[in-house]
Structure 1
């Protein structure tokens, strides 16, 4: 597959990943290389990567515990100290081998350690392949508030090899699929229709589906790298989805929701809002809801929690001047950003989701 070139980075696919990586490593002549992994990618993915590196380099491995709960400044502090103790200097390279937590957190660490060292993202989850590792967003959570601290700075390259997905649990695959559905809903009706019927797809289709999804995201990001206008489209489903994810993350008595599972709920609720405020039809809403619920079983959200979740919306990093902004659909494949929604309508969207 042809590499996808963005402003400051290149996304490579399949075996070409390692041709590009080895050429880069030989030319760059980094003083040290650190590979950041979590306990899962250390066990399942590191050996594959190491087998693809052709020459001997001074490589150190730093492992953290897996999970969104560890995507915080405390984890960063530990890794910064480890990098310092390992003698990593400004000519060092950081390779982030993992899912969205590793690519977000590792990118942020690389951008801030010694005011910035080079880094490469090698996403190992479907979510990271189609979303988290592309576009230069890095960051960590602040308590239960998602991605509140970070910078936008692209990696040297992104390497997407679907062989890393072989050991990924089904729920993690589905989590990434939510972002792929989002890309179709906001930008490409044909892509949405193609991937919305999973019964017609097989694993051989996956490489092309991922490639097409990255093309959609890269097209948007290239027009607006710092999210001043059209990049906001990528936040569809995330205003309510992030609030739901944050609420469940900090309430241990609630079930744990993966990012994509929360965003799937947000996409349904925000589609309902669009039927009230924009031109999305009831038929389109029913179609969107049915497709999403076919992959993501409905979560029972207690009515007493609606207000608590809504209170988290004010902390959304996309807000400006005290307003909570939504991305809504005019129709499948066409979105509008900076939509202001009343509390009453948000509450009604919870009730719609509960009625499904």
Structure 2
């Protein structure tokens, strides 16, 4: 696979990534290498990664507890202290080996330690390969509110090795697949068509589909790194999806949803809003609803759940001047940003989802 050129860094694939890594560690003369991983990637991915890491630079492993609930400032404080105690300096580099939580929080830690040190993302989940590790967004949650604290700063590189996906359970693969479906819906009808019949897909297809998904996200981000315009297209499904994810994360009576599981619901809801606003046809909406519902488990919402999710929208980081912003579909493969919806229409979307 050819290397993808992003704004100020490259996305490497498989052996090309490890060749680059060995070279950059030598050329940049880093004082120390810190690898941030969680307990899962330490067990399942770190042995392979270390076997392919050719360097004489001293390596320190910092292991975090797994899970979205640990993507917070408290965890950052622990890592900042560890970096200090282990002799981290301005010439150290952080290698983030893990899923979206690790690349998000690891990037944020690197951007803020000593006013910023280099970092490289090595995503190990489908979600982080096609979304979280690409585009320079780094951050943490504020309580149950997603990604409220953060910075946009691009990594030194991203290295995608799909062999790590062999360690993932099916629900984690589906979580990442939601972002791939989103890329088709907002940007490329042909790509959506390739993805929507999952029975026709095999493991040989996956590498090519991941590559295409990264290309789509990179094209969008490269046009608008600071998210003032077209990059908002990537928020499709996320306005309501993040509210649902946050609500299920904070509720002691609910089982937490994976990011992609919540975003899948958000995409159905926001497709309904798109239909009601005349931006997509009913046929397109029914197609989207059928495809996504066939892949992801149905989630039951009662009236209290819906109200609580809607209440959380006010905290969405995309809001401007107190107005909730949606990226809505304008036909499959196209998007319309900076759209609004009243609560009545959002309730209708939830009720249609339940039908």
Tell me which residue corresponds to 1:231. 231
Tell me which residue corresponds to 2:291. 291
Residues 272-321 of structure 1, C-alpha deviations (whole Å, 9 max, x = no match): 00011132011111110111011101111122211111010000000000
What secondary structure is seen at the aligned counterpart in 2 of 1:264?
Answer: helix
Aligned runs of 1:174-213 on 2, under 5 Å? 174-213=174-213
Q: d(CA) in 1 for partners of 2:248 and 2:348?
A: 20
What secondary structure is seen at the aligned counterpart in 1 of 2:233?
Answer: helix
Q: d(CA) in 1 for partners of 2:246 and 2:203?
A: 32
Residues 251-280 of structure 1, C-alpha deviations (whole Å, 9 max, x = no match): 121122000000000000000000111320
TM-score, normalization by structure 1: 0.99
Residues 15-67 of structure 1, C-alpha deviations (whole Å, 9 max, x = no match): 11111111111111100010000000000000111000123220000001000
Tell me which residue corresponds to 1:169. 169
Tell me which residue corresponds to 2:4. 4
Q: d(CA) in 2 for partners of 1:116 and 1:303?
A: 45
Tell me which residue corresponds to 1:115. 115
Tell me which residue corresponds to 2:337. 337
What secondary structure is seen at the aligned counterpart in 2 of 1:151?
Answer: strand
In structure 1, list runs of 5 or more residues that go unmatched: none
Tell me which residue corresponds to 2:51. 51
Cα offset for 1:204? 0.8
What secondary structure is seen at the aligned counterpart in 2 of 1:150?
Answer: strand
What secondary structure is seen at the aligned counterpart in 2 of 1:253?
Answer: coil
Tell me which residue corresponds to 1:16. 16
Residues 120-159 of structure 1, C-alpha deviations (whole Å, 9 max, x = no match): 0000000000000000000000001100000000000000
- Which contiguous aligned blocks of 4+ residues in structure 1 show a shift greater than 4 angstroms? none
What value does the CA root-mean-square deviation take over the aligned residues?
Answer: 0.6
Q: d(CA) in 2 for partners of 1:208 and 1:268?
A: 26
Q: d(CA) in 2 for partners of 1:278 and 1:235?
A: 20
Tell me which residue corresponds to 2:244. 244
Residues 166-194 of structure 1, C-alpha deviations (whole Å, 9 max, x = no match): 11010000000000000000000000001
Tell me which residue corresponds to 2:137. 137
Contact kept? 1:278, 1:329, Cα under 8 Å:
no
Q: d(CA) in 2 for partners of 1:187 and 1:221?
A: 12
300-309 or 261-270, which deviates more: 300-309
In structure 2, list runs of 5 or more residues that go unmatched: none
Aligned runs of 1:300-315 on 2, under 5 Å? 300-315=300-315
Tell me which residue corresponds to 2:86. 86
Q: d(CA) in 2 for partners of 1:101 and 1:182?
A: 20
